Structure 1
């Protein structure tokens, strides 16, 4: 794997830049836009190459895109970009919506997870919302090698999955485009809804509602709002 610069680079979390440049937005932009006012200001944490950023801009939303990878941010167009680690971010500004996608909530590192949520809380405006993408408890139970999807020349398939602790999973995804292939390994912590509420509570946030039928997107708001 190439860990240098340019489209072939691999970011610190193992994301292959070249592959993410091939992907179009799924329904993420629609989900996010449905949960904020028209023309809202958004802080997108972990924007990557702008796959969702560009779709949000097309919907008339104002986006500040944050990522720790300069290689990823180099491909974002039309949005203000900030290269920073999410857990350390403090822009001194607040937004109508803060987006924490890419299942960052499921990191097994308790301190890191709570730092992500704290960053969300300190950037959300009064009356605003935090939009979180996570892997629900039941989703982990369905994980198995071979599951995934193929759309045209692009394949995203779980190559390996292992339950290393009762509620901690280790997995490897295999990405393909024609003859090219990439792998990305990660760990994911499994939470019940009650544990999710407790994690949100560490940052003074409460779940307002789930935004999708599969429960992978939720809207959280500051407690007391």
Structure 2
């Protein structure tokens, strides 16, 4: 099955394919990995988490099991049908407008590396407007060698193989990534577009959305905890004081 629904994003394999090339059945099978442990170590126990781009609940379910209250957001109803134990909201992340804030907002799955810089800002602004005072935003970045250590493969202990087959430049600093997931009974492929970001570029994108890095949570810099940027005293209330008021 193949469905091309977004420029540069395609997927093949059994079952439904989402607009960004993700196979629902594949993502329902993938294990949570270390992500829930990283999250649990970075935020208060029992925190209310807004998970943006939850997919089929790969990380959601593990967070719920650890006692977090999770609101899972995804644009794919087929993905959200697989989510259990969490409130679900079907919406594009960039359009999300909830009348509430959360202790933690998560933007994982390398979504911050979207090829569209304007979309990146809309994603980060969604994070910023939904994080509660004193809360944080957890963001997953690509590793430093994500686009250069190619081809590569990883055999998961669960019994499947993940391969990054190729990375091809398509212009304007954007790459097209070709991935393959091989299980004993099925194979899925996914092609998606990604824009590599240096730490400086990443932090500048955060600043434009009113966020700043609080801590890089992992030695490789892949997981980051961000917080609302501090407002300078001379700009409080949105009005800069003139020289005579300082």
TM-score category, normalised to shorter length: over 0.9
Q: Are 2:78 and 1:78 aligned? A: no
Runs of 5+ in structure 1 lacking a partner?
none
The match for 1:156 is 162
Contact 1:100 1:130 in 2 (8 A): yes
Taking structure 1 as reference, are residues 188 and 148 closer, same or farther at Cα in structure 2, changes over 3 Å only? Answer: farther
8 A contact 1:174–1:183 mirrored in 2: yes
Q: How far apart, CA to CA, are the structure 2 residues paired with 1:63 and 1:200?
A: 24
| Match of residue 104, structure 1, among 107, 111, 116 | 111
Cα distance in structure 1, aligned partners of 2:149 and 2:176:
11
Aligned positions of 1:116-127 closer than 5 A = 116-127=123-134
Tell me, which stretches of 5 or more residues in structure 2 are unaligned?
A: 4-13, 232-246
Q: 1:195 aligns to what?
A: 201
The answer to which of 138-147 and 186-195 deviates more is 138-147
8 Å Cα contact 1:153/1:176 also seen in 2: no
2:151 is the alignment partner of 1:145? yes
Select the residue among 45, 70, 75 that pairs with 1:63: 70
Query: Under a length normalisation based on structure 2, what TM-score does the superposition of the two structures give?
Result: 0.85
How many angstroms does 1:166 deviate by? Answer: 7.5
Q: CA offsets, 1:60-81, max 9 Å, x none?
A: 1100000000000001011000
Once the two structures are TM-superposed, the CA of residue 179 in structure 1 deviates from its matched residue by 3.7
Q: 1:169 is matched with which residue?
A: 175
The equivalent position to 1:182 in structure 2, one of 179, 188, 195, is 188
Considering only aligned residues, what root-mean-square deviation do their CA atoms show, in Å? 1.6
Q: Contact 2:153–2:161 at 8 Å: present in 1 too?
A: no
- How many correspondences in the alignment? 221
Say which one has the larger Rg: 2
* CA positional deviation for 1:190: 1.3
The C-alpha deviation readout for 1:12-63, integer Å capped at 9, x for no partner, is: 1100111111111101111111111111000000000001000000111100
1: CA distance, partners of 2:125 / 2:172: 27
The 1-side partners of 2:173 and 2:142 are apart by 12
Asked if 1:39 is matched to 2:43, the reply is no
Whether the aligned pair in 2 keeps the contact of 1:167 and 1:191 (CA below 8 Å) is no
In the TM superposition, what is the alpha-carbon distance from 1:129 to its structure 2 partner?
Answer: 0.2
CA deviation after TM superposition for structure 1 residue 170, in Å: 1.4
The alignment status of 1:206 with 2:233, answered yes or no, reads: no
TM-score (norm 1): 0.93
